[in-house]
Each structure stands twice: as C-alpha cells, then as structure tokens.
Amino acid sequence: MKRDLLTILDLSRTEIEQLLARAHELKAMHREGRAPRPLKGKTLAMLFDKPSTRTRVSFEAGMAQLGGSTIYLERGQTQLARAEPLADTARVLSRYVDAVVVRTYAQEMVEELARYADIPIINGLTDTHHPCQVLSDLMTVEERFGRLEGLKIAWVGDGNNVANSWITAALRRDFELYLACPQGYEPDRDLLDQAARENRPVYLGEDPVWAVAGAQVVNTDVWASMGQEGEAEVRRQVFQPYQVNTALLQHAAPEAIVLHCRCWSGCWGGNQGPVNSNQLKDCISGCQGPALVTLSRRRRV
C-alpha cells in the first residue's frame, strides 16, 4: 500500500519517532564515512512550480547519498504547460519513477496528484503546508536538546505554511507551541480548532514577548513569501513588531536557539536584514533537509 506525505498528519507519533531515529542514524553513518544505499535503483521525480535552492539541493543530495537518482521537472518543461490534466501526469510519472516530490502553490495540487498516482507523493512545499521543513526542524531540536517532549517552542510572525506544519507537529508530539501572529495573519483555523478539540498545548496570541517567554526554540520566517511580493510593503509595516532580535530574545530561555527556514549567512528578523550571531545567541539557520541524510544539516553561524 502506497503512502503519501502531504502533511505531518499523514504520520503517526510513532512513525515520526522512527523517521527521526533513522535520520539520526543515517546522518551519523554519513559523517563516519559509511555509505548505506537503501535507495539504490530508486528514482525520485521533482515537480517544481516554485524556484528553490534548499529543497532542490537537499532532495537531490539526499537521494544521491542514499544511492538513488532524481529527475528535476519544472512545470514549463512538462505537458502541464499545455494544460495536461494532473491526473494524467500522475499516471505517467507512476510508470517511470518511484516517488514524486512536489513544490507548488495550492495544497489541492499535491492532493490531486496523490489521488491518481500509484507511487508516493511528497509535499516539498505548498502555500498551506511545509512538512519536510518542520520534520527537519524537529530533528534539529532533538540534536540540540536530546528531546522534544517538555520543550516550549515559539513561532513569531506570519501564520503561514511553516506555522501550520508546526501545529500539525504539535498534534503528534508532546511539546508546547506558542504562536504570536498579528491579527489577520493567523494560522489555519481548522488546525487550531483541531488542536483545541484534542486538548493539545497549542496557543495563539498577538504578543511576541508572551510567545517567546521561557522558550527553548524560537521560530520565524520572512514577512513576504513567494507570490506575496505585491503585499511586501504592507507586510513590512504589519510585521515590524514581530522582529526576532536581541530585545525579544532576552525573554527566551538562556539556552534558546533560533530557527529560520532560509539558509543565509546570518539570521533574519523578518525582512529587517541580517543580525549577527552574537546578538542572536546560538542562532541556527540551515537547509530544509527533507531527505534522511540531509535532514537537519544545519550549520551554526
């Protein structure tokens, strides 16, 4: 029976634990110079509607390190550019490759591909969810603190796809998640309602200090994502109070780390520009690392 990864909710708590344990194991083997090849003979198609550095490189590197191969497909290079139905594309790819990772806009696209494909479909990013990003973040947190349980994790800024995926992670694992988002930029309401129904420790407010107070992990993201360029100036004004900077981090736990989904030379508080590593304590930025070996290949800055 084929399995898809469209959101983190496609995995059980036990499966997440097993996935991360295997990722830690493979990463250690890679660093020791051992070269397991569990994906030998397997081919991953990468169907991308959005430009990418980290997602593309991490999937391609991970597949190569694990013995597999990749085929990179932009929409304009496929029959999708000539209005071929997604169902037909799903069926054709199923005949040639072993899995497909999709980086696109609408969550409905990955859902439709999964509905018609006979092979696993992996969500490499949509406007609604970013499961591989948050799985790699969970691994980073485990590497740093040795656990997820009992930690306070804060999200500061736009209630976007990464924020949504953090909520889904909190529905599966036992950590506290505090989200500070301005009014009108909250995460998905259905996910928040699900967390409330299941009595999960997921809390939403507007005050960044409240969210960060005592947190061991502080998350943020850019203020305007791809496709939101026309909103950039409005968002710059809205998110000014949501900068992750020295003043805000004074309220976090002394051992706090900062996570950001972009792998730049410095850590960014929204769009304000780079903040040096001394100011941001042990700021961690790095690759999304969806493939097991490259999961959590983050570098200290």
Same domain, 198 and 114: no
100 inside domain: yes
The Cα–Cα gap between 247 and 230 comes to 30
Q: Contact, 14 vs 173, CB < 8 A?
A: no
The Cα–Cα gap between 37 and 247 comes to 47
| CATH number of the domain that residue 83 is part of | 3.40.50.1370
Predicted confidence at residue 224, as pLDDT, reads 61
Enclosing H/E stretch for 73: strand 69-74
The Cα–Cα gap between 9 and 191 comes to 10
**What digits encode the pLDDT tens for the residues 19-71?**
999 999 999 999 999 989 999 999 999 999 988 888 999 999 999 999 999 99
Give the number of domains in the chain. 2
Structure tokens at 215: 């947190």
pLDDT at 292 over 60: no
Same domain, 158 and 295: yes
Predicted confidence at residue 51, as pLDDT, reads 86
1 inside domain: no
* Distance set, CA 298 to CA 136, 240, 285, 295 (Å): 9, 27, 6, 8
3 inside domain: no
pLDDT at 281 over 80: no
Q: Contact, 139 vs 287, CB < 8 A?
A: no
2 inside domain: no
pLDDT at 227 over 80: no
Same domain, 141 and 51: no
Same domain, 72 and 182: no
Residue 205 belongs to domain spanning: 134-300
175 inside domain: yes
More confident residue, 50 or 192: 192
Same domain, 121 and 261: no
Q: Contact, 155 vs 132, CB < 8 A?
A: no
102: helix, strand or coil? strand
Same domain, 50 and 105: yes
Same domain, 104 and 174: no
The Cα–Cα gap between 167 and 112 comes to 23
295 inside domain: yes
Which residue is associated with the tokens 């002394």?
A: 254
The Cα–Cα gap between 158 and 151 comes to 22
Identify the sign of the CA torsion 288, 23, 216, 8. Answer: positive
At position 95, the amino acid (one-letter code) is R
192 inside domain: yes
The Cα–Cα gap between 28 and 12 comes to 24
Same domain, 115 and 94: yes
Same domain, 283 and 173: yes
In percent, the amount of the chain with pLDDT more than 90 equals 75
